Amino acid sequence: MGRVRLQFVRGVEVEFADREVAIGQVEGLAERGTRFPLVIFGPEGCGKTAWLKQTAEILRGAGYRVLYVNPNEELFEGAVRYTEDLAGLVEEVFRELVQYLGVARAITHLALAVADRALRKFARPRLAILIDDVFQAMGLDRAASYVKSALNLIEYPPSPYESMVIIIATSEGVSRRKIGRHRWAELRPMWNMSREGLRALYDALPGGKPDFDRVWRWTGGNPWLLARLYEAGWDVDIIIREVVEVKEITPSFVVRWRSYLERAVEDPEQLWSPDVPGKLVKELVERNLVAYNLYDRDQRLWVDQPPPEDDPELGIGKHVAWQTPMYRDAVRRALEEVGAA
Ligand SMILES: Nc1ncnc2c1ncn2[C@@H]1O[C@H](COP(=O)(O)OP(=O)(O)OP(=O)(O)O)[C@@H](O)[C@H]1O
Ligand SMILES: [Mg+2]
């Protein structure tokens, strides 16, 4: 099976790296299909989209007709990709949807509409529908019913299929709860890359660079952050400031939650303590700063390798982890700058 090539930073293409376990898992899915829609969630920039692209390639190789959609891609070519055997159908369904939904919503609705139509059109197909980041586009309130529609296609297809794979990826920490309380999907977390995986991407970057150990401790294996650091000329300071702004780690936020945040930058597991207000946890999860209520590190519950149970250096605890060490550093910086109350 070939590894897909991915644009990493301007002028640097890399081959899909590492993630051996995940590749094996997809090969298993290719044989069995998905009994429930598989909902993958994980830190922003941990590599969900890259993995879906590799997944598309594996499933194509296993004889699946594959449709991938990502409503957040700017260009139509990035937002909708499909194997040649679906081309006519995808174009036809899109033309119909766009008339009354407009482009953005048409892309959001395309995946399940094409799945339905493909099941009717092809005799006992192998069909894979890979849906990337769709909850953000449609609004989280509709996430659960969207997943239910996907499950309906698996359970009550308009005509029989040989095998069906439906995977939905999201980085929205909140979507997990909205979906998790129903039994309509299988939820699987994915974490940042392994050290070897990140190393491969680091090696592919041209020019002088800081020591790999330092890069590992900044990123905790998050490839998106690695790319940002490179693009910023390895100016960690700028990136920390950027995180403080983008994640809205504002003075009022810091002052309100200071004592808890001070504990959390030392050890994220402190947020698991019952005296920590639910409102703070919610705000940290909504900002995608921490992952809360991490699954057991049982390999079968994760896509690819789970993170370690406890890694103080990277800010990972048994139940709670900073999504990347740099988010912790940003909160630490904000605590320092706002000064003690
Ligand atoms: N296994 C990998 N091999 C090579 N490049 C990778 C790998 N995983 C991720 N990347 C690259 O790292 C960057 C971030 O990954 P990606 O966009 O897949 O993350 P994501 O989890 O989908 O992020 P978001 O939460 O923003 O949707 C991309 O440039 C991607 O191509
Ligand atoms: Mg993505």
How is 174-218 classified by DSSP, letter by letter?
HHHHHHHTSSSSEEEEB----HHHHHHHHHHS-S----HHHHHHH
- Strand pairing partners for 303? 190
Task: Give the residue-averaged pLDDT of 64-80.
Answer: 90
Answer whether residue 175 shows pLDDT above 80: no
Task: Give the residue-averaged pLDDT of 274-295.
Answer: 95
> What's the gap in Å between 47 CA and the centre of ligand 2?
7
Q: How far apart are CA 45 and CA 288, in angstroms?
A: 11
Q: How far apart are CA 230 and CA 179, in angstroms?
A: 36
Answer whether residue 339 shows pLDDT above 90: no
Closest atom of ligand 1 relative to the 17 alpha carbon:
3
> What's the gap in Å between 117 CA and the centre of ligand 1?
31
Domains of the chain (ranges, CATH numbers): 5-189 (3.40.50), 235-338 (no CATH)
- Would the CB of 73 count as within 6 Å of ligand 1? no
| Cβ-Cβ contacts under 8 Å for 156 (sequence gap 6 or more) | none
Q: Where on the phi/psi map is residue 207: left (φ > 0), alpha (ψ -120 to 50), or beta?
A: left
Count the alpha carbons within 13 Å of 256 in the hemisphere toward its beta carbon: 11
Q: Evaluate whether 89 touches 47 at the Cβ level (below 8 Å).
A: no
Per-residue pLDDT tens over the stretch 36-68: 999 999 999 999 999 999 999 999 999 999 999
Per-residue pLDDT tens over the stretch 150-160: 999 999 999 99
- Would the CB of 292 count as within 6 Å of ligand 1? no
> What's the gap in Å between 117 CA and the centre of ligand 2?
26
Q: How far apart are CA 227 and CA 222, in angstroms?
A: 9
Answer whether residue 188 shows pLDDT above 60: yes
Q: How far apart are CA 47 and CA 37, in angstroms?
A: 19
Closest atom of ligand 1 relative to the 50 alpha carbon:
18
> What's the gap in Å between 48 CA and the centre of ligand 2?
5
- Strand pairing partners for 316? 311, 321
- Would the CB of 50 count as within 6 Å of ligand 1? yes
Give the per-residue pLDDT at 104.
85
pTM for the complete prediction? 0.96
Task: Give the residue-averaged pLDDT of 170-192.
Answer: 85
Answer whether residue 341 shows pLDDT above 60: no
Q: Evaluate whether 124 touches 161 at the Cβ level (below 8 Å).
A: yes
- Would the CB of 323 count as within 6 Å of ligand 1? no
Q: Which ligand approaches the C-alpha of residue 7 most closely?
A: 1
pLDDT band for 137, please (50, 70, 90 cuts): confident
Average pLDDT of the chain, as a whole number: 95
- Would the CB of 22 count as within 6 Å of ligand 1? no
Count the alpha carbons within 13 Å of 160 in the hemisphere toward its beta carbon: 2
pLDDT band for 340, please (50, 70, 90 cuts): low
- Best mutation site among 3, 4, 7, 8 for ligand 1 pocket (most ligand atoms within 8 Å of CB): 8
Task: Give the residue-averaged pLDDT of 326-341.
Answer: 90
Give the per-residue pLDDT at 76.
81
Residue 208: Cβ-neighbour burial (10 angstroms; 0-12, 13-18, 19+): exposed
- Strand pairing partners for 84? none
pLDDT band for 172, please (50, 70, 90 cuts): confident
Q: Evaluate whether 22 touches 188 at the Cβ level (below 8 Å).
A: no
Answer whether residue 287 shows pLDDT above 90: yes
Give the per-residue pLDDT at 183.
86
- Would the CB of 205 count as within 6 Å of ligand 1? no
- Would the CB of 161 count as within 6 Å of ligand 1? no
Q: Evaluate whether 134 touches 108 at the Cβ level (below 8 Å).
A: yes
Per-residue pLDDT tens over the stretch 225-266: 999 999 999 999 999 999 999 999 999 999 999 999 999 999
Give the per-residue pLDDT at 237.
96
Strands (E), the chain: 5-9, 12-15, 38-41, 65-69, 80-82, 126-132, 163-170, 186-189, 290-292, 320-322
Alpha carbon 92 to its chain centroid, in Å, reads 29
- Would the CB of 135 count as within 6 Å of ligand 1? no
Per-residue pLDDT tens over the stretch 87-116: 999 999 999 999 999 988 899 899 999 999
- Would the CB of 48 count as within 6 Å of ligand 1? yes
